[in-house]
């Protein structure tokens, strides 16, 4: 019964039988297929140029209630996906992996921390309003 399953059952996830998925030449294709259907635990709305965002305030742990986001609203000036600014890259003939996007913010009042130089990751931004 197990042999029949491994040789004849086509998985919905990998689009091939376990016997085929086990082969070394198919491993990259299996990984790419699994990455393409992966769901994140915390799906966040995409941020694009012109969107309005707030920045997370990093602080030490302390008691009391203080907001974790900046009072000032900033505009996203540009989105960068890495050195060559392409959204996807191939790593050692393996699966396609999306690069971490970095967001540069317009700061006319010079209120952003200088250590960040205006470059933020998605997890450090809170989307306030989408640009039209």
pLDDT single digits (tens) 13-67: 899 999 999 999 999 899 888 877 777 666 778 888 999 999 887 766 767 676 6
User: Helix, strand or coil for residue 38?
Assistant: coil
Q: Are 90 and 96 in contact (CB under 8 A)?
A: yes
Q: What pLDDT shows up at residue 89?
A: 45
Q: Are 90 and 8 in contact (CB under 8 A)?
A: no
| Mean pLDDT of the region 79-98 | 52
Q: What pLDDT shows up at residue 24?
A: 93
Q: What pLDDT shows up at residue 90?
A: 45
Q: What is the CA radius of gyration of the chain?
A: 21
Instruction: Show Cβ contacts of residue 52 under 8 Å, excluding neighbours closer than 6 positions.
Output: 73, 74, 75, 76, 127, 128, 129, 131
| Mean pLDDT of the region 108-124 | 74
Closest by alpha carbon to 128, among 68, 74, 58, 56?
Answer: 74
pLDDT at 92 over 50: no
DSSP class of residue 103 equals E
Q: What pLDDT shows up at residue 40?
A: 67
pLDDT at 86 over 60: no
Burial of 65 (0-12, 13-18, 19+ CB in 10 A): exposed
């Amino acid at each position: 019964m197990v042999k029949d399953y491994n040789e004849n059952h086509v998985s919905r996830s990998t689009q091939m039988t376990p016997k085929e998925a086990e082969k070394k030449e198919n491993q990259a294709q299996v990984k790419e297929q699994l990455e393409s259907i992966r769901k994140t635990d915390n799906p966040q709305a995409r941020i694009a140029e012109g969107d309005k965002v707030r920045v997370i305030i990093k602080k030490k742990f302390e008691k009391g209630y203080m907001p974790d986001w900046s009072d000032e609203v900033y505009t996203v000036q540009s989105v960068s996906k890495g050195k060559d600014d392409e959204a996807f890259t191939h790593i050692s003939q393996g699966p396609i992996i999306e690069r971490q996007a970095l967001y540069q913010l317009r700061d006319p009042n010079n209120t952003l921390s200088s250590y960040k130089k205006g470059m933020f990751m998605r997890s450090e931004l809170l989307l306030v309003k989408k640009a039209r």
